[in-house]
Amino acid sequence: MKDLTKGNIYKTFFLFGLPLVLSGLLSQAYGIIDTAIAGKFLGDRGLAAMGATAPLITFISSLFWGLSSGFSVYVARLFSSGEYKKIKSAVYTMWLIMLIACVSVAVLFISLHAPLFDLLNIEAGLRDAAFRYFAFYVAGLFPIILTTNSVHLLNSFGIGTFPFFMSLLSAVLNVSGNILSIVVLNMGIEGLAIASVLSATVVDVCYFFKFRACFKEMGVPAGKVKLGFKYIKNAMPFSLPNMAQQAVMYFASLALSPLVNGLGVSASASYSVVTRVYDLNTSVYNNSTRAVSNYSAQCVGQKKYDKIKKGVFVGLLQSTAFATPFILLCVIFREPVCSLFFKSDADALTKEYAYLFARQYLPFIYLQLVCNLFHGLFRGVKATGHLFSTTLVGAVSRYLLSLLLIPSMGMSGFYLGWVLSWAVETVLSVVLFFLDGWNPAASDPEYTAKGS
């Protein structure tokens, strides 16, 4: 475990961020292999079945990502202030709440899948395969979400290496499960979801023992856990705004799904591929940005406010350096990269939609990188108004611009609306950063008096 506010900041960020980036890449690797197996063995319709339900699955998951991300900031503050005894009760209580919530969400959304699929405009020929993938994935949501939550929590302790090894284990298990279920057992698209759930379950067991070791190192007594819902109450000011922010961010994609699905199987299939290419690149700077979020949270916990802006600058340099090779790879070698997901006889229009995104729109992802950096800062310092407002403006602009452009430009309009929304959100984020209203130093009387 590590105090990120001590030592050389460049070295600290690099040593903390690199394992996170590698972990993210491994997570994306088996996601890419999921999609590649669907494309190679199940064809365009397999890709389309995944793509048609992906925005709904992502939206559901985003609520738990926000809960987990906000909770980890709360834990980072407890850790940085040395309140170790509170952490164990808070963590176990949160896991119980997540279990209950995941089961409830699974029952609700599986029961309502028919009207939801109507809203998503999923064509009749895809519905059976789409439901099988959706149902198995959502039914096993808890172990998948618990893996993400464990990564966030260990990051709040300053631990980045262990999640990397867990991502490696998960990748091996997931790929093996995919090959076994699809190639050997001929299970169909539901095999991909089952493999994801089972691999996450094994990894969660490893995380459980790691947390026990961490609590022991903190000096927290072993034995019966006392659930403390008061800690969850204290964490909600961190978690609820993050849940709202994540929900708003991904609701735009969900709301636009009927228009994309309405463009046909080729559009839905290509969207599966585009999502994987996009996620591959965003995972690099998303995980690098966690250094900014956890660093800022620890600075606030120790009242080292003067260090935060330098952390943002170093985070920007690091995220750009980590992300650029992957962006260039996907832009320059777009056809080989996208072709990883297609059968040799794949529809030409499906391929062209995917190539179009990589060729013309992916280079603008640097705008989204900047937005993500400021999201990490706002999350770490608990500037919830800034976090939510920038995300809301970005999501609303994406929806409105895409709604305007898709009827005349098709998938090009969908991509262009996406990019323009990045630009709008970036401008707002930069303005809010320089206005300095997010800085917790201004609201700390003790710190202000000391400075004066």
Quick one: pLDDT band at residue 94, thresholds 50, 70, 90? confident
Mean pLDDT, the chain, rounded, equals 83
How much is the pLDDT for 451? 46
How much is the pLDDT for 452? 40
Residue 404 has pLDDT above 60, yes or no: yes
pLDDT digits (tens, 9 = 90+) for 65-84: 888 877 887 887 788 777 77
How much is the pLDDT for 102? 92
Q: DSSP labels for 370-426?
A: HHHHHHHHHHHTT-HHHHHHHHHHHHHHHHHHHHHHHHHHTHHHHHHHHHHHHHHHH
Contact 404, 320 (CB under 8 A): no
Percent of the chain with pLDDT over 90: 17
Nearest to 204 by CA among 150, 278, 252: 150
How many Cα atoms occupy the beta-carbon half-sphere of 145 within 13 Å? 31
How much is the pLDDT for 445? 59
**Which of the pair, 274 or 382, is modelled with greater confidence?**
274
Residue length, the chain? 452
* CA pair distance 20, 17, nearest whole angstrom: 5
How much is the pLDDT for 447? 52
How much is the pLDDT for 448? 44
How much is the pLDDT for 449? 44
Residue 50 has pLDDT above 80, yes or no: no
Quote the pTM value.
0.69
pLDDT digits (tens, 9 = 90+) for 344-370: 677 788 888 889 998 999 999 999 999
Provide mean pLDDT across the span 32-58: 75
Residue 57: enclosing H or E segment and its boundaries?
A: helix 9-80
pLDDT digits (tens, 9 = 90+) for 250-283: 787 778 888 887 888 788 778 878 888 888 888 8
Quick one: pLDDT band at residue 397, thresholds 50, 70, 90? very high
Rg from Cα positions in the chain: 22
**How many DSSP H helices and E strands does the chain contain?**
16, 0
Q: What stretches of 302-383 show up as alpha helix (H) in DSSP?
A: 308-332, 334-339, 348-356, 365-380
How much is the pLDDT for 1? 55
pLDDT digits (tens, 9 = 90+) for 289-348: 777 887 887 788 778 888 888 888 888 888 898 889 989 998 999 888 888 777 767 778
For residue 248, CA distances in Å to 235, 253, 298, 397, 438 come to 20, 9, 27, 12, 20
| CB-based burial, 66-80: b 16+ in 10 Å, e otherwise | bbbbbbbbbbbbbbb
Residue 419 has pLDDT above 90, yes or no: yes
Q: What is the 3-state secondary structure (H, E, C) of 221-245?
A: CCCCCCCCHHHHHHHHHHHHHHHHH
Percent of the chain with pLDDT over 70: 95
Q: What one-character DSSP code corresponds to residue 179?
A: I
pLDDT digits (tens, 9 = 90+) for 165-188: 888 888 888 888 878 887 788 777
